[in-house]
Structure 1
Amino acid sequence: MSLDFALMADKMPEILAGLWVTIWAWLVATILGGGLGFLVASARRYGPAPLDWLLKLYVEVLRGTPFLVQLFLLYFGGPFIGLRLEPIPAGLIGLTIYASAYFSEIFRAGFQAVPRGHVEAAQCVGLSRGQILRRILLPEMTMLVLPQCVNMAIILIKETAILSIITVPEMTGVISAIGSQQYAFVEAMFLLAIFYWVLVEICGYLGRLAEARLSKFRFAVP
């Protein structure tokens, strides 16, 4: 037996189309999931106790169940309650909601990590809660949580592979199908691993670049 990557090269247009779907799904889930997670963390910090309990349950359920199960329930279970979604919208919604639970915990920990003295000093000079959030908490918290956010973004890159089970034409589904058609399973998996590795390295590089740009917000904890 020998490896023949020419079998995969002939299908490169289809593979690149699947790669684009993977990147698009990842970007949407990371941006929207991060935004939703920030709103959840803010609501838990500043909202009333009943809202905190409700959002805590939301986070715990999503973090305590596999994404595969969540996606199955959304796509295949949705019609039982009148929710019928096409594969791509279902995948994007599922991945975004899944990401939001983890991002919310990252941001909540970031809020708590900002030295209390900084917030108290802002309150002493008369800043409102909104001004404290924009001028004190957000800049300092962003620097603190950036590495964790990058790690979560990397996890989401690999979680996009699960979208193939509901026939989303992303990279894993496309390359696996080509490997089955061409009887080139090893070549397909090897190529798939390379693509994911490259995406992870690019994400890590962008994260390091952002951290260098935001280093001016670094502070010393007293």
Structure 2
Amino acid sequence: MDLTLFVTYGPLLLKGIYYTLYVCAGALVIGLLGGMLLCLLGQQPRGPIPLLTRLYVTLFRGTPLLVQIYLVYYGGPFIGLEFSELQVGIGGLGLYCAAYFAEIFRAGYQSVPKGQLEAAVDLGLSGPQIFWQVRLPQMLTLILPTILNQTILMVKESAILSVITVPEMTTSATKMSTETFSVVEPYLFLAVTYWVITYLLSQLARRLEQRTNRHLAST
């Protein structure tokens, strides 16, 4: 291994790490907010809105992220939609993950016992109060591990964005490999960096899960 390559290409690799974290953070916000919105809209008893939300979830979960990115980035200009690679990366990854988060939120939403909701109504709580004080805390406790696991998957999925030249880690490692004809150094760095990020996220998930379930320790 030629460790001097990391000195020469260190700024490029650090830039890649920054953009990976930046893109994933933006996509996570879009995914969580979009997933919660889709979940709530899907709970409507009737009308076209629940059908549209199911269609959205089915389409985005049923097609590869790579195909969606290509359609928006390369197909968008044909219909007058032009976005930068960073906008497509953050928005595309966020909208893709929103479909998965919507299903996670739906499972948590429906898992709260109806007896507790009925008790909240008997106590005179309004609809928003029931959601914020009864349903939401319990559903988040139940689905927190799944949300964090999906976040880890999203970080790894972000490597696909290199196909549209988003300057994230995979793009940086590929550029380093192309210019130096090295394979081991750049892609070993890429693998180790992804492992470190996902390991830290998994540790965060474990700590959050322990804190949210602390009240169950005595049972």
TM-score bracket, normalised by the shorter chain, equals: over 0.9
* Aligned counterpart, 2:174: 176
Partner of 1:206: 204
Q: In 1, distance between residues paired with 2:45 and 2:198?
A: 36
CA contact (8 A) 1:7 1:184 kept: no
Q: 1:79 aligns with which of 77, 87, 106?
A: 77
Whole-angstrom distance in 2 between the partners of 1:115 and 1:215: 18
Gaps of 5+ in 2: none
Contact 1:62 1:101 in 2 (8 A): yes
SS in 1 for 2:83: coil
Alignment of 1:77-156 (within 5 A): 77-156=75-154
CA distance in 1, matches of 2:205, 2:119: 31
Identical pairs, percent: 41
C-alpha distance in 2, partners of 1:157/1:179?
A: 22
Match of 1:77, SS state, is helix
Deviation at 1:193, TM superposition (A): 0.2
- Match in the other structure for 1:31: 29
Would you say the 8 A contact 1:139–1:217 is kept in 2?
Answer: no
Does residue 43 (structure 1) correspond to residue 38 (structure 2)? The answer is: no
- Structure 1 residues 29 and 217 mapped into 2: Cα distance closer, same or farther (>3 Å)? farther
> Do the aligned partners of 1:28 and 1:92 also contact (CA within 8 Å) in 2?
yes
Cα 1:28–1:218 shift into 2, 3 Å: farther
Runs (4+) of structure 1 moved beyond 3 Å? 46-49, 216-219
Please identify, of 205-214 and 173-182, the stretch whose mean Cα deviation from structure 2 is larger.
Answer: 205-214
Is there any run of 5+ residues in structure 1 with no aligned partner, and where? Answer: none
Root-mean-square deviation (CA, aligned residues, Å) is 1.7
Matched length: 218
What is the rounded CA distance, in whole Å, between the counterparts of 1:217 and 1:41 in structure 2? 27
Measured after TM superposition, the shift of residue 136 of structure 1 is 0.8
Q: Distance in 2 between matches of 1:55 and 1:129?
A: 22
Per-residue CA deviations over 1:53-79 (Å, capped at 9, x if unaligned) read 111000000000000000001111111
